[in-house]
Amino acid sequence: MIYNISGVILAGGAGKRFNGTTKATIVVDGKTIISRILDVFRIIFEEIIIVTNTPEEFTGFADNCIITGDIYLNKGPLGGIHSALNEATRESVFIVGGDMPFLDKEIILNQIKFFERNYCECIIPSMGQNIEPLHGIYKKSVLVSLEEYLRLDNNYAIREFLRVIDICYFPVEDSEKSRLAFTNINYPSDLRYLNKDRD
C-alpha cells in the first residue's frame, strides 16, 4: 500500500461525445470504467480522490474516497489536477483520466519506483514518441505554478503546462500490454472497436 501518494481519478468532463454520459460511468466488459479504476487503485493507494463536478453520479462507487470538484471551472484536465493537488493530504498525486478502463498495476508500481529515484516535480510515462500526462505523478509543489498558470489567459492543454515545470519521462516498452494500459475512451467508436478487438 502506498501512503505518500494519493491516487486521483479525473472523472469530470461534459461527455459531449457520449450524449452527456460521463465517460467514467460507461460500462466496459461488464463493469463501469470508474469501478475498474478503483479496483486497481484500492490495491495500491491508501488515499483515493475522485475529481468531478457531478458528485451525485459517483456516490455508489465512492466508499472511502474523497470526492471534490473543480475550483477553476472550464479549464479541462488542468483544473482537475489543480483540485486534486489542493485536496490531497499526501505529498504527491498519481493522476489518471476517468476514461482509462485497463490500468495495469505493475506499470503503476514501476512508475512509482521511478518517481522515488528521480528528483522531478512530475513523472510522465513515454512510449516511443507518445507521452501520457494523464497517467502522471505530480508533486504538491506543482500547485504554486499551476495556480499561477490557471489565473492567466493561457492555453489550458496539459502539454503546454508541462513546459513550465520540472518533469522527467518514465520510459515504457511499446507493447500490447502497455498500449492497453494507456487506452482511453474518447469516442463511442472507440468502444465498438475495443469490444470487437476483445471478442
Residue 22 is predicted with a pLDDT of: 82
What residues are paired with 131 via a beta bridge? 126
Task: Please state, in angstroms and rounded to a whole number, the distance separating the CA atoms of residues 143 and 165.
Answer: 10
Task: Please state, in angstroms and rounded to a whole number, the distance separating the CA atoms of residues 78 and 42.
Answer: 24
Q: What secondary structure does DSSP assign to 111-167, as a single string? A: HHHHHHHS--SEEEEEETTEE-TTEEEEETTHHHHHHHHHHSS----HHHHGGGS-E
pTM over 0.85: yes
pLDDT, average across residues 70-94? 95
pLDDT, average across residues 84-98? 97
Tens digit of each residue's pLDDT (9 = 90 or more) over 112-155? 999 999 999 999 999 989 999 999 999 999 999 999 999 987 78
Reported confidence tier of residue 185, pLDDT bands at 50, 70, 90: confident
Residue 196 is predicted with a pLDDT of: 47
- Give, in order, the Cα–Cα distances in Å from 53 to each of 27, 69, 71, 115, 189: 20, 5, 10, 30, 25
Residue 16 is predicted with a pLDDT of: 52
Phi-psi region of 182 (alpha: psi -120 to 50; beta: other; left: phi over 0): alpha
Residue 105 is predicted with a pLDDT of: 97
